[in-house]
Amino acid sequence: EWIPEGASVGWGGAMSAAQIGLINAVRQGNYIALDREKCVTKEERDALALKCLISDVFLTGANGMSIDGQMVNIDGNGNRVSAIIYGPKTVLVIAGMNKVTDSLEDAVKRARTVAAPANQQRFQLDNPCTVTGICTDCKSASCICNQIVITRHCRPVGRIKFILVGEDLGL
């Protein structure tokens, strides 16, 4: 019900949404899927990432969430956190219980020391944490820790919606 038929739907950093079958449901359903995986060139991917910023619905995950409801996300290019912050009419955050931490400090730590190195390894980028699995706070050109965003509240109220799945999902 949060994704009306015919809606344009984009996503970024949405491993959890993929794991629960939501990405495939969008691809196969009556939606306009803004699917960057179908792009051939970097220019096409960049253009589609911009389209996601004005989509009806944007699907994403969280790198960390504090028990008091603050969400932490780390991004390399900024397309994912930009969409969370401003743009799409609705943002759906799909997150597993492994993302929930006791405090904001722990959520940031999880994002920096668990999610970011794991994503670097997934993308096979040339950074120290790709090899070691440990964040060294590098400043390399291919670092994916360029923007660290803490979302405390949502404006307008209700624009960001959370689906917290009672199992471990994503990185």
Q: What's the whole-number mean pLDDT along residues 48-76?
A: 96
Higher pLDDT residue, 72 or 170? 72
Q: Residue 13 above 80 pLDDT?
A: no
Which residues sit opposite 39 in a β-bridge? none
Kindly indicate the confidence band of residue 25, based on its pLDDT and cuts at 50, 70 and 90: very high
- The predicted pLDDT at position 108 comes to 96
Angstrom distances, CA of residue 164 to CA of 17, 40, 41, 65, 100:
11, 33, 34, 10, 9
Distance of CA 39 to the CA centre of its chain: 19
Q: What's the whole-number mean pLDDT along residues 25-43?
A: 96
Kindly indicate the confidence band of residue 1, based on its pLDDT and cuts at 50, 70 and 90: confident
Angstrom distances, CA of residue 94 to CA of 52, 126, 129, 130:
17, 28, 25, 25
Kindly indicate the confidence band of residue 36, based on its pLDDT and cuts at 50, 70 and 90: very high
Do 151 and 73 meet the contact criterion of CB atoms below 8 Å apart? yes
- The predicted pLDDT at position 122 comes to 82
Q: Is the pTM of this model over 0.85?
A: yes
Tokens of 34: 């803004």
- The predicted pLDDT at position 116 comes to 87
Q: What is the 3-state secondary structure (H, E, C) of 30-61?
A: CCEEECHHHCCCHHHHHHHHHHHCCCCEEEEC
What pLDDT, in 10s, does the model give residues 152-171?
999 999 999 999 999 999 88
